[in-house]
Amino acid sequence: MSRAPEFLPMSDAAVRAVAGANSRHAALIEDAFGVLVETPGGGVSLSGDARARAQAKKAVQAIADRADQGLEIAEADVRVAIGHARSGHGAPGGALPIGRRGQVAPKTATQAEYLQALAADDLVFGLGPAGTGKTFLAVAHGAGLLLRGDVDRLIVSRPAVEAGERLGFLPGDMNEKVDPYMAPVWEALTDILGAEQLRRRREKGEIEVAPIAFLRGRTLSHAFVIVDEAQNASRAQMKMVLTRIGEGSRMAVTGDPTQIDLPNPQDSGLAHAVGLLEGVKGIGVVRFGAEDVVRHPLVERIVRAYDADAAKRGRTV
C-alpha cells in the first residue's frame, strides 16, 4: 500500500489542537494508528499505510472540527476521537449553547444520545460509571433551560447517605449543611455559568439545593430537577422524588448502580425504578459504559477491571 504523506489543510486553531501542547495529542494519534503526524504549516500531514492513514484522518478531522467550533480540546477529547475512528462511529454532535463556556458538546455517541433524550423526554435516567459526564451534561442541559427561560428553577438533589440524612447534626444553615454533598454539582454549575452568575441565581432562588429528604410533600412545577447519586436513594425515596414532578417540569436521575453506599444495597431505588419504568412513554433510559469515560484514561481501565470482576462473579449492573 502507498505510504505517501497525505496533507490535510486546516485552520491554525485546528492544527494547534491536533498537535497539542508539546505535541502530546499528535503523539497519541501516532501511537494509536502507527502513523507519523506532522504540522508543516497550514495543515496536518499524515504518513503511513493507507488504512492507518484513513483511520487517523477520521480522528484528526474530528479534533479539527471541534477546534473550529471554538471548543477546547483536552487529552480526553483526543482519546475519544481515536476511539470513534477505530470503531467506525461518527463523531457525536448536538452541542449545547450555554453560559460562559459558549458550548457544551458531547464527547461520545452515548453522551449525544443522552442529550437527545434530555431534550425529548420529561424523565431521563442516566446510568453508568464515574467520569462519563452523566451529571455534568444534565447540569448543562438544566442550566440551558434556565437561561432560555424554559424553566423557572433548577433544583439539584442528592441523598446525604454519609450523614444518614440527619442534617441537623451538621453545623450551619441549610446550604452549609448540604453543600459538602453537592460539591460535584456546584463545580459543574460554576464551570458552566461562572461563579458570579451562579451566586446571583442562587440568591434569587432560581438555583436551589434540596436534599431528597426535604422534597417530601412538595410539587416541583416549572423546574428542571436533577437527582444525582440516585443509587443511594431508597426505593421509598425514589418513588417520592419521582412523583414530585409538577406542571412544566422535567427531571434527570443519574447514578451508578455499582456504587451503592446504603447499608442494604438491595434497598437501592435506582435499578428498581428503571426496571419498572423503562419503556414507559415520556421516560428515557441511557446507559453509559467504560468507553464513555472522559476523565483520566486510567479511570476507563479501572472501570473495565471492575466490570470484568463483576461479570466473573455473575453479577449484573
3-state secondary structure 212-267: HHHCCCCCECCEEEEECCHHHCEHHHHHHHHCCECCCCEEEEEECCCCCCCCCHHH
Fold (topology level) of 96-312: Rossmann fold (3.40.50)
Cβ atoms 173, 219 nearer than 8 A:
no
6-87 — its CATH code? 3.30.1370.10
Amino acid sitting at position 155: I
Q: Which residues pair with 225 in a beta bridge?
A: 155, 251
Per-residue model confidence as pLDDT tens for the chain (317 residues): 456 789 999 999 999 999 999 999 999 999 989 999 999 889 999 999 888 899 999 999 989 988 888 888 888 778 778 877 876 655 555 566 565 555 677 888 888 889 889 988 999 999 998 889 899 899 988 988 888 888 999 999 888 655 344 445 555 555 565 566 677 778 888 888 888 888 999 999 999 877 888 888 888 899 999 999 999 999 999 999 999 999 999 999 999 998 898 888 888 999 999 999 999 999 999 999 888 887 666 777 787 788 788 777 765 54
Q: Which three cell numbers stand for residue 2?
A: 502507498
Instruction: Please check whether the two domains, 6-87 and 96-312, share a CATH topology.
Output: no
The CA angle 245-246-247, to the nearest 5 degrees, is 140
What span, in angstroms and rounded, lies between the C-alpha atoms of 227 and 176? 19
Judge residue 294's burial from the number of C-beta atoms within 10 Å of its C-beta, 0-12 exposed, 13-18 middle, 19 or more buried.
buried
- What residues pair up with 208 in beta bridges, in sequence order? 155
User: So what's the pLDDT on residue 108?
Assistant: 83
Domain ranges of the chain: 6-87, 96-312
Query: Per residue, what are the HEC states of 161-200?
Result: HHHCCCHHHCCCCHHHHHHHHHHHHHHHHHHHHCHHHHHH
Q: Which residues of 148-157 are buried (b: 16+ CB within 10 A; e: fewer)?
A: eeebebbbbb
Cβ neighbours for 88, distance < 8 A, ≥ 6 positions apart: none
- Decide if 265 contacts 255 (C-beta within 8 A): no
